[in-house]
Each structure stands twice: as C-alpha cells, then as structure tokens.
Structure 1
Amino acid sequence: RGFFIAPGNQIRFYDKRHLFRVGKENLSFSEGQQQTIISYKGWNICLSICYDLRFPVWLRNNNIRYDLLIIPACWPHSRILVWDILLQARAIENQAYVCGVNRIGHDPTGIYYSGHTTVIDPKGKIILSTPEERETHITTTLSAEKLITFRQKFPVLQDADSFTIHI
C-alpha cells in the first residue's frame, strides 16, 4: 500500500495491483482493485507500486486522467536497465511525467538495490536521475504548460484504443 498525504489531512492510498509472485507477495497480500488518481495543486497524480510498472494496460492513461505517474519501487540492480526502459515507455505511451523512486542498499536476503530514482518527461527524456549506488535526494520543477502544449500538438491519446479492465 502506498500513501499520499497532503496538508489539511488529505490522505489517499493505493493498493498494489500486480503482486510479485517470484517474491511470494501473492501469499501474504491481496491485490488492489482500482487505480488511485489524486488532484493536488493543479496536477492529477496516479500512484502505482513497483511491479505494476511492467503492466502498461493497467497504467494506461485513458481519457488523459493523469499528468504525473509516481512509482516507488524495490527494483534490484540486476534489472535496472529494465527499470529505465519501462519508466521511459510509460512516460511516452501515456504522455505524462513519470517519477520512479527506487530504494538503495541490500535487503535481508542479500539482493542489492542501486537506487536510480528518475524523473522523465512525456517525450521519454530523462529530466533528472540520481547517481547509482549513492543515497541522495533530488528535486526538479515540472511544467504543466509544457505538458499541455505537447498534448495539444501531438494528441496521440485521442487515437488510443478504448478498453475496460475486468477485475
């Protein structure tokens, strides 16, 4: 479960939809049933968690419901190239900013996580990325104006296939 907590006691949560079977999450948790999109300071923010990144249908920005996708994760160093590619793909196909926040260090089983938190623009360009293997923090400013202009000049989501996810 991921939380979004804002001033004024605005508390929202998202339950991970795709449980990581390899890590046996499906034996301890129940999968989420719906997307969580939060309006905050003029932005529509979609919350997601880790393994959900691999499932583009689940994260599809139908009817341009969100502007920013935030994905906290425990993505191991051995698959960091996949992390990078999937983050960029989700930004491009959804015409949205994507912020992938990844952990760093070793877990109790010895799996290594190298960080590599990344912010990507709707064209797939990496705006900002943390150096691998170093704890740090980053900040950047996103432009709603640039996002709107890009969506108007290149309105590909208007041609997207419509579908319904059956849970």
Structure 2
Amino acid sequence: MQDQLKIALVQSDLVWEDPKENRSRFAEKIKAIDEVVDVIVLPEMFSTGFTMNAKAVAETMHGETVNWMKETALKTKAALMGSLVIEDNGKYYNRLLFVEPSGAITTYNKRHTFTLVGEEKTYTAGTEKVIVDYKDWKLCPLICYDLRFPVWARNTEDYEVLIYVANWPKPRIAAWDALLKARAIENMSYCIGVNRVGVDGVNIEYLGHSAVYDVLGACIAKTRPGKEQTAIVTLEKRHVTAYRNKFKFLNDRDTFTLE
C-alpha cells in the first residue's frame, strides 16, 4: 500500500481558444517540475479557457489534446488530469480526463453546468460520479461549479482525495476558498482545488487561489494569488486513516439517494 501521494497543482493563465498554444505552454510548465510526482493537475478547460464556443474548439477522444495527455503521462510517469471540450456522439461535454502513464483513461463529465452563463445550452451534463483508483488511493475528480453542491461530492465511497479543476472567477473567489475547506471537513478527505489565473476571452478575471486542505480543514498548500505557479504537495494516507478512526464522523452520515 502506498501511504504517500505527491501531487503537482499547475496554476496557469490560459490562451483563449488555442489548444496548440496551451499544450505548448503546459508542456514547458510540466517539464519544469523538478520532483518526481504521482499526479499532475491542470485547470478546467485547460486547452481553451471556459468557452461556450464548443463547435469551434471541440476535440474527440482521439484528438491531439488527448494524445498529448497520453504522451505526457507516459513521459513523466505521472497521471495527468484536467478538463477539456470533447465532442462525443454529436454532443459536447466539459469532460475531465485522468490519464495514467499506462495510457488508461478515466473520464468524468461535469455534472453541474453553469447556468449563469448558459453552459447547459452548449454542454450536456454528466450523470455519473466517478472514483479513480490509483496507486492504492481513491480519488474523486469534479469540475468547478460542482463545488457548490455538497450532495454530489458526499463521501459514500470512502475516497481519500477530492479534486476540483476550475475556471472560478475573481468576484466569487471567497466562495471558492470557503467551499474547498468545507468539502474537506465534511467528507474527511483531502480537498484540492486547481484554478486558472489571468483574463479570458470574454474579459473575466481569475485569481487562482489553488489550494490543498486536509481532513480537518487546515490549508497545507496554497499558490500565490494571480500568479502562474506550480505547487507540489505530499498527501499521507495515515493522516486520513488516523482522523477517521479517531472521530468516526462519516459513520454518522444521513442515508439518502439521488434521483
């Protein structure tokens, strides 16, 4: 059993609707990571920014960005994750990919589409929660707006790490900070949020605030606001196990099902 999991959080600006340039920039950032890590996390829609122009930028699961993710995971011997615009059977998805060095891919389609900007008019909402089993760890990958909905993240699978990739804007960054901490506490898991920085193609500004919280809600890693930065954190399974065994809060969960 692997007690430690080392994760790199890549907080970056994104070039609007330019997958090739974004791949090139992320390649340089990933190349600059000078430690051996298990997982590299990129922001939501890392190849384009949070665009509603899906038809112009969508790729397939056999497209250049997915192939780049597979090549990068193989080269770095680290799993690579982030979301991008995917066309599948005539529908568009804000799809998160968890790509392992072996080439195995786990996908998660964003459940909660952001109706404030009409995301639901362009992208098909996901229906399945996904748990990734990787190196003896259980990871729960979610996307941006999902953070506002605790029922969807509810830890009924005993995952150890909850990971959000995001394009979460500056005006509501206080909510991002508060909700990441809350999700860690209520689920007794590590909670990681990787957000972008910069200004996008529709003039929305992002501050980043990428961070990692432990099972008691303590912030154990945080990036510099508004700056491109890669932060590396080492998670310890014994931290999760010790506090779950001590407090047993998850044993007192209410029982219900989603319809």
**Equivalent in the alignment of 2:189:** 96
Matched-pair identity in %: 44
The TM-score normalised by the length of structure 2 is: 0.63
Post-superposition offset of 1:135 = 0.4
Query: Matched residue of 2:226: which SS?
Result: coil
Post-superposition offset of 1:99 = 0.6
> Of 99, 104, 108, which aligns to 1:14?
108
Q: How does 1:35-74 map to 2 (within 5 A)?
A: 35-64=129-158, 66-74=159-167
Residue 45 of structure 1 aligns to which amino acid in structure 2? Answer: L
Answer with 1 or 2: which has the greater Rg. Answer: 2
Distance across 1 between alignment mates of 2:214 and 2:154: 16
- The question of whether the paired residues in 2 share the 8 Å contact of 1:69 and 1:97 is answered with yes
Q: How does 1:19-38 map to 2 (within 5 A)?
A: 19-38=113-132
| 1:105 has 2:198 as partner | yes
| 1:2 has 2:99 as partner | no
Q: Which runs of 4+ in 1 moved over 6 A?
A: none
Structure number with higher relative contact order (C-alpha < 8 Å, ≥ 6 residues apart): 2
Unaligned residue ranges in structure 1 (runs of 5+):
none
Query: Matched residue of 2:216: which SS?
Result: coil
Per-residue CA shift, 1:71-125, capped at 9, x if unaligned?
Answer: 0001011111100000000000000001100011101111100111101101001
Distance across 1 between alignment mates of 2:185 and 2:128: 22
| 1:143 has 2:241 as partner | no
| 1:81 has 2:186 as partner | no
Post-superposition offset of 1:158 = 0.5
Query: Matched residue of 1:48: which SS?
Result: strand
Query: Matched residue of 2:120: which SS?
Result: helix
Count of residues paired in the alignment: 165
**Equivalent in the alignment of 1:164:** 257
Distance across 2 between alignment mates of 1:63 and 1:84: 24
Distance across 1 between alignment mates of 2:255 and 2:128: 17
- The question of whether the paired residues in 2 share the 8 Å contact of 1:115 and 1:134 is answered with yes
**Equivalent in the alignment of 1:130:** 223
**Equivalent in the alignment of 2:47:** none
Query: Matched residue of 2:230: which SS?
Result: coil
Post-superposition offset of 1:63 = 4.6
Residue 46 of structure 1 aligns to which amino acid in structure 2? Answer: C
